Structure 1
Amino acid sequence: MDPASLEYVEQLQQNVAELHQLGREWGMTDDEMSDCIERVLRENENVIVSPPRKSTARRIWRCIGYTPVVVSCLILGVLILFAGSSLLFVVFPSAEHYMSGKLQPYGYTIFRTIRLATLPLHRYFNITSLYDAECLVENPWYEEPTLECNWCENIKNIESLNDTKNHDLIDEFMREARPIVFKNLANVVNFEDLRGLYRQNNVVLDNAAFFRSSVPGMRSIQELFGDEVDENTLMKDGTTIHWVTRNMAGSQVIRKLFPRPTFIPPESEVALERVIFIDGHKSDHYELVVLPLQMGYYIQASGNHKVIVTPLKHCRDVCNPMQTVLKEGDILTYNPSVWKVVVMPNFQNKLSIGYAGSFSFNGLDFDLKESEDAEIQPDPDAEPQESVQEEDSKTEQT
């Protein structure tokens, strides 16, 4: 066969292959494509081949038909991955610790990517209020982990310490979940100190995660520290103000007035969440908020305040409530897995300013997993240790 004929045959084969590919895209069967090609070869070579009318509809239907399948497979895959990971972490807790350790160096990168990916949502929704949220969806059935009641049944009073030099004794008290009052350990902070701190750092402190006030018309921190507000204004009956900060910048600023307590070991983590309480005369009573870390502390920065330390609900039949009056500079520390703290109304003729925070067990020679281990739980038959109870609590009854 001469070269011209070979070239024509190759061109013809290429055209046939292209026609077959085009027919498949149109949804034609092999028989339909063969009949169409033979008809064209028999007739005028300029005839334009049109796809059957049903091919376009078939192609659209095929694309639509695959979409639910792909979406369902993706959702099913995510659910299987989540369920499998949860089951693995429950059966093998060491696997959770391993994965947490491996992903920790990439935590900032992961969450930064998520934050950047959500930026287009700002065009339609204002999500700035979610930046400091602990979770996006509250779980009404979630309960904080608690310890067994034998941790509190032999504790009859609140320990009182005048210094923080005896680290072994402090560790022992905390290991036994005993509430402790450190006397005259914190700095005294008044309302003018708070106002001065705010005015020097208002850009940072305006972004509070939560602010609630019982004063009519006071809905923000800006209004709290306005020129027309002073201690006499806040001393009115029923004034109760809660101010929560959870971001890094705000916590660093507040730390200037409320530095890290000296009894917290340097190895322990201190939570970013800082809560400031301002109570006038005959203020409402309230329970200290649920704390993010294992140990909580409350500082009485100004005025005196009576607090009641009660066991959790499931231990009220076997454990006793206790009370004390915190004076200026006192710090109460407690384990929220065993105790809850209720701040009573302020009946003093001075504005009360309190501060709450939390810290981890690191550096205290024990951790939560060890605390939950039955082998190291305190002996329920052991005699309670002697302690110094506050004079005010001896004369007052719960």
Structure 2
Amino acid sequence: MRTPTRSSYDVVIIGGAIYGSSVAWWLTQMAGFDGTVLVVERDPTYTFASTSHTNSCIRQQFSNATNIQVSQFGAQFIRNFRSFMGDNPDVPNLTLQSFGYLYLADTPEFTQSLQRSQAVQSALGTATRHMSRDEIAQAYPFYQLDDILAGNHNLVDEGYFDGGTMFDWFKRSARAAGIEFVHAEVTAITRKGDRVNSVTLSDGTDIACGTVVNASGPRAAATAQMAGLEIPVVPRKRYTFVFDAAQPLDIDLPLTIDPSGVHVRSDGKYYMAGCPPEDDYDAAYDDFDFDHSLWENKVWPAIATRIPQFEAVKVINEWVGHYAYNTLDQNALLGRAQSCPNFIFVNGFSGHGLQQAPAIGRGIAELITYGTYRSLDLSAFDVNRTHRNESFLETAII
């Protein structure tokens, strides 16, 4: 355990995974910010962090303009990663494998929803196409489409990338710029009136702070409760399977969102599939037990039906991770708590977190430095909407 070098910090970030590290790094990029920053991470191996279980995907295909704009900046950041990192020659270039998402609609209602989303996306400059069943069949003849009416597909800035490398360089670059990371757990938060004054670490050390950032992923509610605050974020299990096919496809497989709820895509020479469990319950923070029946009963039947060439496949890897699941509307919860303005939330991404980390990390750093969002207005994600029971409307949830 590294001991903090100070007894007081301007900013204490609780959680050092993708969001803690992104906010920390972006603070080093803010003109005029000269504050001290401490990132507290309970498990620096990140073995069970949501970041470590991500599928590293990015899409423009949302129905809400703010989500689209967030991902558009994410794609820009990935494609210009070394430039954003100060043209450091040690920083690798990131490749965005842009074979896109393909949403398949099997009802008139879903088809109309895809058409509405495509119109919003197109107005913001994305390359999303609304495709008929015949157009899908012509582009991707391996699908079985008897039950499909239409789909949406985008081949530009949509696919997957090396999210682990992005995360690693957020941490490295933040440390190089003077951000402190400490291996500890926050066990208490002291609050007087409408302000947080300090956090207590697992060894009993009290750290005074000017601002606290809750970046603790699926544990966000527990962190908030220490400050007397509530947030509707719970751990939900999500399963991933990597498999080999006896008859591989001769072209890349888009990330295909099947009406069954199963999604599948190319993953190098293999394929990756995932889905929620049938019983999507709130999991314990340390519950990573694997439901091996899910493959046989749900995933494989869905992909073998949709892609008959996948009748003969072999699972070569599998894992389960946690979504930091926002039970209100499955979208980000950001900003200052109304009753405690120096406590900032960056939580509840419900599976969108990695792709949104560049834009939202920047936005939270702006909020801390300047008191407002400057580059992109993220106020639609205001955490205080939970108390007003106002949902952020987004139909494209996976």
Q: Counting strand residues as a fraction of each chain, which structure ranks higher?
A: 2
TM-score (norm 2): 0.22
* Pair member with larger Rg: 1
Q: Counting helix residues as a fraction of each chain, which structure ranks higher?
A: 1
